Structure 1
Amino acid sequence: MKAYINEYSDTLKAVQNTSSATIASSPQWEAPQVETVKCNCDASYSASLRKAGVGFVCKDHEGTVLKATSCPSSFTDILVGESLVVRLAMMEMIVVGYERVVIESDNSCLINYIMNGGRASPLHIRILVDDIIHLASSFVSCNFVCIPREINSVVGSLARRALSVACTTDWPLSTPWLSEFCSSLPP
């Protein structure tokens, strides 16, 4: 827990110490269209701890956090973890009833496999990619986008947080560290 708080503090300080010129030229989260939910996904694996976890954050067109989740998982290949979190996030968005979604990941390989219909995906993730493609048909609109890792800092933090929780955690939107961290990032 202490390591996670230190990481959070370091990330927050780095964001706050960034000059405005750097912020303007840095990649930033872009809001989706009205009535569309954007979901950023990430996975984390620690070989030293032998633990893995995933996290995702769903936001609306105003950047309001609708859902923030950390989930411990079991994988040793990060591509498997990235596939698992995209599938998990999509299943959650179906349950909530979102119809128009954008799924963002910083894993370009996974996004390419999905966009290519799963044909070239490695065998160890093919079933997951096929599931993702099938789940996409549950939405009126579903787009997949590869983004720079810097934009995924909040969900990267949630995925790492999953390494220290025992079960899936849907973070209350009023959680102080989550609210502070989300609001400290550039729009």
Structure 2
Amino acid sequence: MKHQIAWNIKAAIYKTFPNLKLDGRWTEICDTIERLRHIVIWRQVSWSKPLLNVVKINTDASYDVTNGKAGLGCVIRNHIGDLIMSFSIAVQCGSNNQAEAVAANYGLKWCIHNGFNKIQLELDSLIIVDMLNNRDTTNLKLRRIIQDTIQNMDKVDIIVSHCYREANSVADFFAKQAYSSGHSTFCFSYEQLPREVKGLFQLDKCQLPNIRRRYDKNNFFVS
């Protein structure tokens, strides 16, 4: 039993610290584990403006797996960073990935309906970005929404790109707003934006960076 417990503990530690070697007496191993620290990686990330005559769609989603409740967030801006439209929509979805895909498709359809044909679609879900760029998915639950989005993509000149969530803070705000309130709202000017998001919007427009903080699992030190 003791050996099994020790093996389970080591397996859990190796998952968090893949390059760690644990040898010696159990007391020494415990002491090493208690003093382990990941190396923190800091990186500046910022929202980037689209090219001239291109509109940029940023979307995000907030999802609760327990009840399927989701909030979709979107902000559409021009090449100088001014607002064209934003939405905050409350929906029901089957998964977080489905909510991310639906948000992207909603934003894209709005642009097409309003005559925009040069588009950059950006979201922080690398899974959905890869599906759209690969133009297919093996996930049967997502196939319908992905195919519908691809059909809309074929109607315009579009680039689909990934961003870190720290560069997607405005869309994230609207997604969380829809999720928490259960209501849907649309904004068509800076003045109509909620007070809480105006600061984030201006930071993006000035292209001031946010700090992305991550732990490097493959590198660590013993304090």
| TM interval, short-chain normalised | 0.7 to 0.9
**2:167 aligned with 1:151, yes or no?**
yes
Amino acid at match of 2:124: D
Aligned residue type for 1:124: K
Shift of 1:171: 2.5
Contact 2:73/2:171 (8 A) holds in 1? yes
Q: 1:50-86: per-residue Cα shift (whole Å, max 9, x none)?
A: 5211010001111111111100010141000011001
Task: Give 2:122's aligned residue.
Answer: 104
The answer as to 2:50 corresponding to 1:32 is yes
Runs of 5+ consecutive residues of structure 2 not aligned to the other structure: 1-41, 208-223
Aligned counterparts of 1:27 and 1:121: Cα–Cα separation in 2: 31
Give the 5 Å matches for 1:54-133.
54-118=72-136, 120-133=137-150
Write the distance in 2 (CA, Å) between the matches of 1:82 and 1:128: 10
Structure 2 match to 1:177: 196
Match of 1:133, SS? helix
What is the letter of the counterpart of residue 160 of structure 2?
A: F
- Residue 29 of structure 1: CA displacement? 1.1
Question: How many residues are aligned here?
Answer: 162
Q: Is the 8 A contact 2:65 2:95 kept in 1?
A: no
Q: Say which is worse superposed, 145-154 or 172-181, in terms of deviation.
A: 172-181
Distance 2:170 2:64 in 1: 18
More displaced, 77-86 or 46-55?
46-55
1:102 to partner: Cα distance: 0.4
Q: Greater share of strand residues, 1 or 2?
A: 2
| DSSP-derived class of the 1:67 partner | strand
Contact in 2 for aligned 1:44/1:160 (Cα 8 Å) = yes
Query: What is the alpha-carbon distance in structure 1 between the residues aligned to residue 57 and residue 148 of structure 2?
Result: 17
Once residues 198 and 128 of structure 2 are traced to their aligned partners in structure 1, the CA distance between those partners, rounded to angstroms, is 29
Q: Structure 1's 130 and 64: CA in aligned 2 closer, same or farther, altered over 3 A? A: same
Deviation at residue 48 of structure 1 after TM alignment: 6.2
How far the C-alpha of 1:181 sits from its partner, in A, is 2.7
Which structure has the larger Rg? Answer: 2
TM-score, normalised via structure 2 length: 0.67
* 1: CA distance, partners of 2:53 / 2:203: 24
The aligned residue for residue 135 of structure 1 is 152
